[in-house]
A and B are shown apart, each in its own frame.
Chain A
Amino acid sequence: MQFNRILKKIIRTGVGKSRYWMAIIGLGVAMLLILVALQVHTDFNELLHGSRNQNERADYLVVNKLITNDMMGKPEKTVFTPEEQKDFAAQPFVEAFGAITAAQFNVQMQADQLGFQTLAFFEAVPDTFLDVKSDEWKWREGDQMLPIVVPRDFVNMFNFGFALGNGIPQFSETSIKSLTPEVIISNGMQQGQFRGKIAGFSDRISTVLVPQSFMDWANARYGKGVAKLPSRVVIRVKDPSSIELKNYLEQHNYSTDSEKTKYNKIRGIVQTIVSVVGFFGGVLLMFALLVFSMFIQLVISSCRKEIRLLVTLGTAPKRLQRYLLGQLVPVYFVTGVIALIVVSAAQWWASGVLAKHGMFVAPYPGIMTIVATLGILALVYVVNLVTVRKEIQAHT
């Protein structure tokens, strides 16, 4: 456009070249930092919650009180009182809450086929918390057959630890299921005998489980007659790595499988790093905006006489604004697009690398990242527009 070509000779934007490039570079780096922070945040969330990365086992946590030296020998201190149970169950991160009922009787198991005899213990949880679906998982008073669920870890311990060391053959899960060890329960005075039947193997709850109905019956019959408060509870949570859960457990001195919640430590670290990176990006963005504004002020005040004359001759101030913004906008628009392309390339690369390790993140940048790019560009535009308008008004 002819008019703008002449304007270019009148309004020398060259006076603040170094400032201008500082502002552009600052803006570019600031945008990279902010976009990377947002993208990492998005990716981490996807790793934790995305359906492709779902770790089924992590949803259930067995929680007990941490046993300290003071508590030793005082089992009443390790139980969950009804108030504590109610409070725990009411927490927003707890989707389901169940008490683990401990047996109040002794258990002895004999597997004659193996020449194997051991003391044992039983616990029971509400059926909904069990990951073993089996028709055999029921017991009614009078039944001789007692279904038992053992943790899969026990099978491994038996096969790879105990059996090898004692010259006992290793067993497959199917063959273990066919065993019918004798189960003797007693309270010292009375005793009852049952045929045990391994109904399944649980990944979820590391204890030896019997049906709740059997536990209730046996506790009433062989126990001390008083219902005991649970010392372990099982909860279902949406996100075992949530910070709220971690804080709640710490506050109440509860303990759980740290393997399952170790993510919250990593997550805490990642969130801190991401926040710090985002914070520096924000600070840098502010400085870039400041330098931009200084550049505009410098350019306008260095040719305020010319601008005044242009307006005197009939140039609309709006047109001067548009011209000045037109000199700036394309450059930082390109800066923004380059920042987004760099982040997209990094994301694509990271997605490939993570996929090799069985972790899945989207190969393209998240919505938040794109929205942030547009948001930052809009912010820069508005700040520049306001500065240009103010400066031109001040000099005409």
Chain B
Amino acid sequence: MKRGLRLHRQDNCIVMLDDVRRGEAVAYDGGSVIANADVDLGHKLSIEAIAIGEKIRKYGASIGSATAAIAPGDHIHTHNLKSDYIVGFHH
């Protein structure tokens, strides 16, 4: 059962189709990765090693730049990804 969705072959992240727990394997079209954190439905998981400043790609397009080194299986979110345009609101 695939629990992750790779939206484009150039993407370096997948979208979770389910809530997964740290240590669980997440299969997606083209591979599998072990989650390094609890990651909920709709959130993103890295499937590649990504260096600081590198673009995160989803839908085959950039969704911003990495602000920390990211390992395969890491949760990608506000702690390691920022917009190349305008900040959003989170609290």
Q: Do A and B come from one complex?
A: no
Give me the interface of A with B, judged by CB distance under 8 Å: none
